[in-house]
Structure 1
Amino acid sequence: MSQPTSHNTSPQETVAIAGLMRRLGAMVYDSLILMAVLMAYGSIALFVKYKIFQAPHIQGEKMELGLIGFVLMLVVIIGFYSFFWMRGGQTVGMKAWRLRLVNDQGLPVTLTQCITRCLFAWLSFALGGMGYLWCLVDRNGMAAHDHLSHTQVVVLPKPDKKKTKGQGSERG
């Protein structure tokens, strides 16, 4: 389903747009890391709200982040992805699945593209995954948020085993 697309990564290199299953695999990896980041954020945010700012709390009732805490949580999520995408185009999950996010010319993404992609990816997911499923019918294999953010997720070639074997075996 994914059609090769040439990028500016190398004059002779052709890469393919990532399919749905690879994208989902990377999302599972990233969701585990993001969950840990959000748990840390939530702990810090609740500590600041209830211990430092002394927000009222009834014993036995659940603590809430509130509107400001929720908005800051969204900033943390967008910051998480933007940090990785702008520093090499890969989150940890994307590295594991040999994926990279690039703009539609094959170059690194901008902060505006990262933010746009995060917002539209959320919408793609919220609409029952329809934006993600779009890559199954798109002629280039791109999801809806790829088009809307002018980005694409490409599959990186497998590393050359001959080069990696010889490089790490020498001892000095």
Structure 2
Amino acid sequence: MTTTAPAPAWRRFAAIVYDALAVIAIVMVVGLLAQFAMEGALFDAKGHLAAWWYQPLQGLVVGAYFLVSWVRGGQTLGMRPWRIRVTDAEGMPVTWRRSLARLVVAALPLLLLTVYPLTSLKIALWAPVAGWAVLLLPSLFDRRRRAIHDMVARTEIRPLVT
């Protein structure tokens, strides 16, 4: 059982920036492999996605990155340089169930992309960013520095104990 204090919110935000870079790399690799699988025809002549499975595959691979990282060691690539990890409220490693709950809630702002047919692409792309800001806002004020997805999954971000 670990009794360390929660990690400062700025470390969480720094790790998010690093993880965004890792997610971009993952998406690029999956996109490249999908292009190979479709023999360069992932998009049709009008620029529309030709493979129904491509976006679900992207979501599964990115989701797996976070789930496996949190369960195996409690750290994503972005969390490692900032020496923080995800734990349960007692400081123990998180379970698959907690990790999945955390992922589902953290991914909810992606549903805001569906506003695109009703608005501009620019607004549709900024909508999830605003959603994530709302999810992360409590970590600035909560005594245990928890974001909404941490509250739902009963997890915390803690500094690594050396």
Measured against the shorter chain, the TM-score band is 0.7 to 0.9
How many angstroms does 1:66 deviate by?
Answer: 4.4
Aligned pair partner of 1:113 in 85, 98, 112: 98
Residues 46 and 144 from structure 1, CA distance in 2 versus in 1: closer, same or farther, beyond 3 angstroms?
same
User: Structure 2: how far apart are the matches of 1:55 and 1:40?
Assistant: 14
Question: Aligned Cα RMSD in Å?
Answer: 2.4
- Kindly report which structure 2 residues correspond to 1:75-86, keeping only aligned pairs within 5 A, or say none: 75-86=60-71
Residues 141 and 107 from structure 1, CA distance in 2 versus in 1: closer, same or farther, beyond 3 angstroms?
same
How many angstroms does 1:105 deviate by?
Answer: 2.3
Residue deviations 1:15-68, cap 9 Å, x none?
Answer: 1212321111011112112211110001112322x229x77833xx43626442
- Kindly report which structure 2 residues correspond to 1:19-34, keeping only aligned pairs within 5 A, or say none: 19-34=8-23
Partner AA of 1:91 in structure 2: T
Partner AA of 1:44 in structure 2: L
- Determine if the alignment matches structure 1 residue 39 to structure 2 residue 59: no
- Determine if the alignment matches structure 1 residue 70 to structure 2 residue 59: no
* Contact preservation (8 Å) 1:20, 1:133: no
User: Structure 1: how far apart are the matches of 2:43 and 2:27?
Assistant: 23
Residues 155 and 65 from structure 1, CA distance in 2 versus in 1: closer, same or farther, beyond 3 angstroms?
farther
Residues 138 and 116 from structure 1, CA distance in 2 versus in 1: closer, same or farther, beyond 3 angstroms?
same
Residues 25 and 128 from structure 1, CA distance in 2 versus in 1: closer, same or farther, beyond 3 angstroms?
closer
Paired position in structure 1 for 2:86: 101
- Kindly report which structure 2 residues correspond to 1:1-172, keeping only aligned pairs within 5 A, or say none: 8-9=1-2, 14-48=3-37, 50-51=38-39, 57-58=44-45, 61-62=46-47, 64=49, 66-123=51-108, 126=128, 127=131, 129-157=133-161, 159=162
User: Structure 2: how far apart are the matches of 1:73 and 1:140?
Assistant: 32
* Contact preservation (8 Å) 1:99, 1:155: yes
Q: Which runs of 5+ in 2 are unaligned?
A: 111-127
What TM-score, normalized to structure 1?
A: 0.72
* Contact preservation (8 Å) 2:144, 2:156: no
Q: Which runs of 5+ in 1 are unaligned?
A: 1-7, 160-172
Corresponding pairs, count = 143
State, as a whole percentage, how many aligned pairs show the same letter.
31
**After TM superposition, what 4+ stretches of structure 1 lie above 4 angstroms from structure 2?**
none
What TM-score, normalized to structure 2?
A: 0.76
